[in-house]
Amino acid sequence: MIRRLSLYEFFFRACCFLLPALSFLTGAMVLRALTLINPLSQDYVYVCVLLSLVWIVCTAYFRVTSVEALFLDFNGAQNCLKSVAWTYMCGFTVLFFYRHASFSRLLLGTSAVILLVGVLLLRRIFQTVVRYADKQQERLRVIVVGADAFAQKTANNLKHSAWAQCETVAFVRIPGQRIEVEDDVPVLELDELTYKNITHFANDMVIAVAPEILPAMSNLIEQLKGLAIPIRLSLDFGQNVKVRDRFFRIGGTHMLDVRIAPSETISYVVLKRTFDIVFSLFAITVFAIPMGLIAIAVKLCSPGPVLFKQARVGINGQVFQMLKFRTMNVAPTAETDTHWTTPGDSRCTALGALLRKSSLDELPQFFNVLWGDMSVVGPRPERPHFVEKFNKEINDYNARHHLKSGITGWAQVNGLRGDTDITKRVEFDLYYIQHWSLIFDLRIILMTVFSGFFAQHSY
């Protein structure tokens, strides 16, 4: 019966995923009734499919379709608004580059409003229905196999779940286990469990698997499999190990994610990459003339190539060639790859010093973003020589390579640029990785625009 609760989530998600199409049709019917014009054409079918796909990603990312969040999340309405906003922002961005047909902005705006109202209304209806159904049914009666502190913790979590409503009717002591559970629930011995004496007072069984009983799991499950109720596992990985919610199988090996990078999530792969492509194309278009003028100036001011290419370490430790406008006199690679730039560095040209101070030398990196080597926002990429050095000196340094490197980052907008405290920079980079979101990226971009040019430590 515990697993049957997941059906609630299935139906809720199915209804949510249908909302964009229903909103579009409702908006079209409203406009047709008010204006006597049929606003729909075949092109709108493609728009509807596009919005539906983006909507699925956004609602999953903001946990709009999670039944548990439906009852526990106090920011539910805000997350619904974010999902609608990002869905239509992505939709409008794609339509901006699609010139084969014109679309009614009134219809798109109307459908967005209907979608927001619809998802808020659906959440309220679903909350009411689930609560009503819960009152009509008795609480789930669960037997927890185990009698230690973790078994008690498992029972407490089941009891206080916002929507599972489970009641622990008995604990079962595993041979050799010390009893550490509360006295108000009976504790049975393993040999007391039979088909006849538990089916009348329990619906489900949960084995609280503490680390010390793992070796006995095979025999334990063998003893319990003859019972006529479903059996689950509740796993205790210890105090310092937090697992993610992803369980998967490779061959015959079952695995749980303990630590995953945002780059493994759909929101990062799809939304961030889409944003990077759109933003880099926009930036290259806007700065095309300034970049052309800078290229001419660099060529005239000193001998050597216009662009400076340097090996940097990016996502998953992959090395790529990062582009910059050349700001220094040509020097051997061994020197440029192993030395920091210092204030008043004699290697800088007069124009180069200005470009570095204003960060205009970084503009060619938008091509790195377009090619997929970098992102607009992320930890700044470092040279292989320094990556090897810092990885030996700083704990968890390589964790900053779980995301693509960026043109700007959380450390940079907080004043940590150039030859600054590397430990502090890593701390800010890891904070960004742990709290990544597209909203966070936009915040960093705005901070870069308003405070990034002529910033301290730019030399």
Give the mean pLDDT of 328-336: 69
The better pLDDT of the pair 37, 261 is held by: 261
Give the mean pLDDT of 343-366: 83
Give the mean pLDDT of 132-138: 64
Tens of pLDDT, residues 194-215: 765 666 677 788 888 777 777 7
Q: pLDDT band at 287, cuts 50/70/90?
A: very high
Q: Is the pLDDT of residue 327 over 60?
A: yes
Average pLDDT for the chain: 80
Q: pLDDT band at 459, cuts 50/70/90?
A: very low
Q: Is the pLDDT of residue 342 over 70?
A: no
Question: Percentage of residues in the chain with pLDDT exceeding 70?
Answer: 77
Give the mean pLDDT of 318-347: 75
What local confidence, expressed as pLDDT, does residue 408 receive? Answer: 93
CATH superfamily membership of 140-256: NAD(P)-binding Rossmann-like Domain (3.40.50.720)
What local confidence, expressed as pLDDT, does residue 277 receive? Answer: 94
Q: Is the pLDDT of residue 384 over 50?
A: yes
What local confidence, expressed as pLDDT, does residue 364 receive? Answer: 95
Domain boundaries, the chain: 3-136, 140-256, 266-451
Q: pLDDT band at 33, cuts 50/70/90?
A: confident
Highest mean pLDDT among 62-76, 125-139, 250-264, 390-404: 390-404
What local confidence, expressed as pLDDT, does residue 415 receive? Answer: 84
Tens of pLDDT, residues 80-97: 898 999 888 888 887 777
Least confident of 8-17, 21-30, 243-252, 273-282: 243-252
The better pLDDT of the pair 459, 247 is held by: 247
Does the predicted model carry a pTM greater than 0.85?
no
Q: pLDDT band at 72, cuts 50/70/90?
A: low
Q: pLDDT band at 1, cuts 50/70/90?
A: very low
What local confidence, expressed as pLDDT, does residue 236 receive? Answer: 72
What local confidence, expressed as pLDDT, does residue 270 receive? Answer: 81
Three-class HEC string of the chain: CCHHHHHHHHHHHHHHHHHHHHHHHHHHHHHHHHHCCCCCCHHHHHHHHHHHHHHHHHHHHCCCCCHHHHHHCCCHHHHHHHHHHHHHHHHHHHHHHCCCCCCCHHHHHHHHHHHHHHHHHHHHHHHHHHHHHHHHCCCEEEEEEECCHHHHHHHHHHHCCCCCCEEEEEEEECCCCCCCCCCCCCEEEHHHCCHHHHCCCCCEEEEEECHHHHHHHHHHHHHHCCCCCCEEEEECCCCCCCCCCCEEEECCEEEECCCCCHHHCHHHHHHHHHHHHHHHHHHHHHCHHHHHHHHHHHHHHCCCCCEEEEEEECHHHCEEEEEEECCECCCCHHHHCCCCCCCCCCCECHHHHHHHHHCHHHCCHHHHHHHCCCEEECCCCECHHHHHHHHHHCCCHHHHHHCCCEEECHHHHCCCCCCCCHHHHHHHHHHHHHCCCHHHHHHHHHHHHHHCCCCCCCC
